[in-house]
Chain A
Amino acid sequence: MKSISHDRWALLVSAVILLVLPLVASGYVLYIVNLLMVFVVLSLGMHVVIGEAGQFALSHTAFYGIGIYTAGLINTACHPPFFISILAGGLLSAVLGYVIGLLALRMRDIYLALATFAFGEAMQWVFLNWDKVTGGSNGMRMQPAELFGLKLTNDLQAYPFVIGVAALMLWLTVILSRSQYGSCLRAVRESEVAAMAMGINVKAMKQSAFAISAAFAGIAGGMYTLFTSFIHPESLGFQTTILVLTMVVVGGIGSVRGAVLGAIVFGLISELLRQALSVQEIIYGVILMGFMMFKPKGLFAGNQKRAATVITPAASA
C-alpha cells in the first residue's frame, strides 16, 4: 500500500511542476522537458520487451527512427491532425516489430541481442542512404505538426500535447503490466518451458511483446516530430539504444517506475552535459559500472519475486 501512495505523490508533484514550467521557464527548458518525455516513452517501450518479456531486443532505435520519418513525412505531405501521423508511425513500427519478433522465436539471449543489434545498425544505414525517402545524410526537414488548423511551431505549443501522449503511454504501460497479459509476459521471461506447460502461447507472447515495444518506440518518434523541425540519422543508431537500455537497467529491470526515473535522470545527464561530451561519457561509464557492481538490479528492483529461492553452490573462489 505504501508504494501506491508514493506513486500518487510523485505524479501529483510532477503534474504541478509541469503545469507551472511554461509560465516561468524559457522555450529551451520546455524543449528539454519535451525531449525527456520522448525518452520516457522509449524507456517504457524497452521495459515491455526486456523488463516484462525478458527478450533482449537491441533494435529499439530503428523503430524510433521509423516513427519519426513516418510521422514527419505524413505531416509534410498531408497535414492531418497529428495523432494520425503519430499513430501511423506507431503502427508501421508495430508491424515491423512483429516481423522482427520472429527472430526472437529462434534465438536466445546473446544471439537475439546480436541479431537485433545488427538489424538496428542496418536500419540506420537505410536511414542514411535512402535519400529519396529520408533525405539521407542531408537529414530531413519536417513541416510542423497540425491539429485542426493549429500549427505546432515551437516547443511551447507542442508542450501540452507531448506531455499528454507521454502520460497516455505511461497509463497504458501500467495497465499492461498489471493485466493478465503482463503476467503471461513475465512468465515467459522467467521460464519458457514452465510457461508453455501452463498453456501460454509463448510464440504469440514474444512476438506481441516485440510489436508493442516497437509501437512505443514508433510513437516516441511521432512525439519527437511535434517539437522538432529536423532529423538526422546520426542520432538513430546504437548509441541511442544503449542510452535507453541504460535507463531501463539502471532504473531497474522489470519496473515501470524504474524505466520512468531512468529516462528522466539519463535524459537530463545527456542534455545538460551535451557541451562536455568526454565528461558525459566518463560519468556514464562510472554510473554503469558502479550500478552493476553494487546495485545490479537497478534502483527499483521490479517484480522479481520468486516462489522459491535458488540454491547457489559455494561462491566462485
Chain B
Amino acid sequence: MKFYKPLLLCATFCAAVMSVAHAQQEPGLTDKTIKIGLFAPLSGNAMAYGFDVMNAAKMYYDKINKEGGIHGRKLEFVVEDDRCSANDLLAAVKKLTEQDKVFMLNGGSCSGAVVGAREYIERAQIPYVMLNASGDGALYPPSKYIYGAFSISQRAVGGSMVQFAAEHLKGKKIGYINHDDAYGGWNLEAAEFQAKKIGVDLQVQSINPNLTDVTAPMLKIRAANPDVLIITTYARPVSLLVKKAQELGWSKPIVIAVNGTADLKQLVENVGNKDAFKNVYLQEVMLDVAGGPKLKWVYDMYKAYYPELAAKPGYPQTYMPYGIPSAMAVVNALKAAGPNPTREKVLTALSQTKFDSGVMAGPIELTPTDHAAQKSAIYLKFDGESMNVVPDTYRSLWTY
C-alpha cells in the first residue's frame, strides 16, 4: 500500500505542472541568431538521398551568414540523422523541437518517414520546410505548418512520366512498376489520372521495396506486352529490374523515375551489361543533367565549401543540388518575415513563395492551398555512360 502515496503525489505534482501556462517567447530566436533544426538520412542505406542534400542546404545558409545574415541575425543549426525511418524521424523532430528548442524545422528526404511527423508538427505548431522529400501525404490536404516537394511531388512524378511515355515515346500501352507503399501509391494515383486523361492503358505491378527476386513482376509485365516500361521504385530494385528486363529479352524503352537514380555508376555496375542501357531514359527534376553547365555554380560552391568531400569518388552525390531550393525558400520566408519574425509571420511568408531557384526544372511556387513546391521534370537518354537531354518539360495534370 505504500505504493500509492508516491503515485498520488506524482499525479498531483504533474497536474500542477501541466496547469502552468507555457511561456510565449518565440523559441530558437535571439537578437543575434535564428536556430534551425536540420535532419536527413545521414547514414544507412538511404544516405544517398539526404547526406549531400543537407550539405548543400548548409552551404547555402553559410553563404547567407557570410553576407550578413537575415536582418542582422545569423543562422545556426542543430543536426539530427533521421535514417529515413518514420519512427527515427519523429524522435528526431521531437528532440529538435523540445530539447533543442529550434525556431523552425528544415529536413527530411524520405516521404514515408516525413509523413509520420505531420500530427506532431501540427500539435507543436512549428513551421516545417522539407528538404528534398516529396512528402505527398503531408502536403495533401495541405497543413498550415508543412511545406515540401522541393525536388518534386510524387503526384507530379507519376503524371509526368506517363505524359513523357505517351507523348515522346508514343506509347499506347504502358507498363508501370511502383512500390506497394504509400510513396508508390501517390505516384500511381497521378499516373492513373494522367493515363485516363490522355487515353493510354496502364499495366501496373506494385512490388515490395525489399523484394530480392523480381522474376514474377517482370514476367507479368512482359506478358502484358506494353510499349514502354516505367519504373518508379527506389534505387536497388531498379538495378534488379533493368537486369531482369534484359535477361527476359526486353528491348523497348524503359523510363526510370528520379528517385531511382541515386547512384548511376553503381546502377550500371550492378546491372553489369552495357546492352541493357540501349533504350533507357532517366527522369530529371533539375534544369540540367547533374554536373551540367547550367548547374556549374552549385558544384563550384560545393567544391569551395567541402574540398575534401569533393575529392572523394562518388561525391558530390547525385541529389546534392536539391538542398538549394529548400534552403532558399527558408531564407526568403525569414527575410519576408521582417526584423521581428514570429513563427506565424514565417508561415504567412512561406505561403506566398514564388521564385526561380536556378537549380530545378520548374519554378518554386507555394500558395495557401498548394504546399508542394516543384512539379516539372525533364528527361535524359542514358546509355550507361553519357546523358542527352530530351527537349521540353513534361507536366503532370493531377490536382488535389
* Any A–B CB pair closer than 8 Å: yes
Q: How far is the CA of A147 from the CA of B261 in the complex (A)?
A: 49
Contact call A19/B115, Cβ cutoff below 8 A: no
In the complex the two chains form, is A28's CB within 8 Å of B10's CB? no
Contact of A28 among B81, B98, B180 (CB under 8 A): B98
Contact B123 A230 (CB under 8 A): no
Bound CA–CA A190/B120 (angstroms): 48
- Which residue from A11, A141, A142, A230 sits with its C-beta under 8 Å from B6? A11
Segment from B14-22, B290-298, B335-343 that makes contact with A: B14-22
Q: Which of A214-251 contact B (CB under 8 A)?
A: 228-230, 232, 234-235
Prevailing SS type, chain A contact patch: helix
- Residues on A with beta carbons closer than 8 Å to the beta carbon of B181: 136-138
Given A137-B181, A167-B3, A19-B120 contact (CB < 8 Å): no
Closest to A229 in B: B119
- A138-B112, A274-B91 given; name 8 further pairs at CB < 8 Å: A22-B17, A136-B181, A142-B119, A160-B11, A160-B14, A229-B123, A234-B87, A275-B81
Query: Of the candidates B9, B87, B98, B185, which one forms a contact with A235 in the assembled complex, judged by CB atoms under 8 Å apart?
Result: B87
Q: Tell me if B7 and A164 are in contact (CB < 8 A).
A: yes
The reply to whether A160 and B10 form a contact with Cβ atoms under 8 Å apart is yes
For the residues of B in contact with A, the DSSP-based class is helix
Query: Chain A: residues with CB nearer than 8 A to chain B?
Result: 8, 11-12, 15-16, 18-19, 22-23, 26-29, 31, 129, 136-139, 141-142, 144, 153-157, 159-160, 163-164, 167, 171, 228-230, 232, 234-235, 271, 274-275, 277-278
Inside 8 A of B185's CB, which chain A residues have their CB?
A: 138
Answer whether residue B155 sits at the interface, using C-beta atoms and an 8 A cutoff.
no
Assembly CA distance A137 to B83 (angstroms): 17
Residue in A8, A139, A278 whose CB lies within 8 Å of B2:
A8
Min CB distance, A178 to chain B, in Å?
Answer: 14
Given contacts A22-B13, A28-B95, contact A156 B18 (CB under 8 A): yes
| Beta-carbon contacts under 8 Å, B281-329 to A | none
B182 part of interface (Cβ distance < 8 Å): yes
| CA distance in complex: A155, B98 (Å) | 10
Specify the chain A residue showing the minimal Cβ separation from B15: A160
**B365 close to chain A: CB less than 8 A:** no
Name the B residues within 8 Å of A27 (CB-CB): 94, 98-99
Residues B66-92 near A (CB distance < 8 A):
80-81, 83, 85-88, 90-91
Q: Which residues B3-37 have CB closer than 8 A to chain A?
A: 3, 6-7, 9-11, 13-15, 17-18
